[in-house]
Amino acid sequence: MGRGMRPTVAWTEGEKGPCVQLLDQTRLPLEEVVVECYTVEELCDAIKRLVVRGAPAIGCSAALGMALAARLSTAGTGEELLEELRRARDQLAATRPTAVNLFWALERMMKRAEDVSSAPPAAITLVLIAEAQLIVADDLARCHAIGEHGAELIGERANILTHCNAGALATSGYGTALGVIRAAHSAGKQVHVWVDETRPLLQGARLTAWELMKEEIPCTVICDNAAACLMREGKVDCVVVGADRIAANGDVANKIGTYALACLCEKHGLPFYVAAPLSTVDLGIATGADIPIEERAADEVCNFSGQRTCPAGVRAYNPAFDVTPHELVSAIITEHGVIRAPYADSLQAAVARNDQNRSAIMPQRPAQGNKHE
């Protein structure tokens, strides 16, 4: 995590029983409140309400949700437990459609359960709790690796513009886009961050600025529509953003407004970098045109902090994400290095290397995770 920050997502077993703890991002930056989810239904509701958000953090939460489903189960056989886990997987999968890390984590947990399905339910549960905690630790390790690789792209003095929040709050800790910025800052580079406010929910102004202030990294919040002016005045050296899904050809789905920044970078001759773990790459989707884009409630646009900001009855269109074409992406920063075009080839090769060399980044499974296999 960042300095002085509570964990974004964590597993705990207290007096009330097992639960998934989430730092409530709807309450930041004014309050630091931890939401405790004691059922899969409560966790699904928290994901839908953006208590937890950011593709890697959603994936970690879903993995812990599968562990919670197993821990709460009273199934008498491994097969009965698998049926309950499949229902939990379907519930969690229905929460948000765009972030592929959600589905990646659910399938990894389901496969792990199937691998040990001949064991008693209690033993399967221990394996799944260990696997979920491993996914959380794995994400943190990958974020640090992304930061190290990305920092090499940042100049000794740099004004970096970022959009939405791709920091510790969007991951299990450290962050992807903010991981790059953190690593550059830690390396002694003189960085300053322009923080897009990111309408309509202000994840940049509320969350990214909050993280950067805690890390004492110089930053300035700007309205989303100020980016072009800053670029024309030579006050931006590069843009670094995260991603919720990357298609096989390198098209990138990220928070709405990202595509506009990429177009502005092309106009002004600036590099546009995407920082994301390889779990965000979806080789099963050929292009960004096939990425499902979540449309959220109009009230998020027409209201803010409980106050109406639009005329009553007016319609609002609220896509949560947009797609940036691969030709506008200068590089994709991953835990295994910096990937460049042609992305159709380089992404496929990187994913294949990742599958072969997971142990190079991923922490090893604890011994208790293997004894029931």
Give the active site residues.
Answer: 244
pLDDT at 291 over 60: yes
Stronger pLDDT, 172 or 306, i.e. the higher one: 172
pLDDT of 2 above 70: no
Asked whether residue 177 carries a pLDDT value surpassing 90, the answer given is yes
Tell whether the model's pLDDT for residue 362 goes beyond 60.
no
Q: Rounded to whole angstroms, how far apart are CA atoms 330 and 72?
A: 46
Q: Distance between CA atoms of 163 and 202, rounded to whole angstroms? A: 10
- Taking only the tens place, the pLDDT of each residue in 31-86 is 999 999 999 999 999 999 999 999 999 999 999 999 999 999 999 999 999 999 99
Give the chain's domains with CATH numbers. 9-144+358-369 (1.20.120.420), 145-356 (3.40.50.10470)
Rounded to an integer, the average pLDDT of 267-280 is 97
Query: Bridge-partner residues for 157, per DSSP?
Result: 190
pTM of the model: 0.92
pLDDT at residue 367, as a whole number: 39
Q: Give Dmax (Cα) for the chain.
A: 67
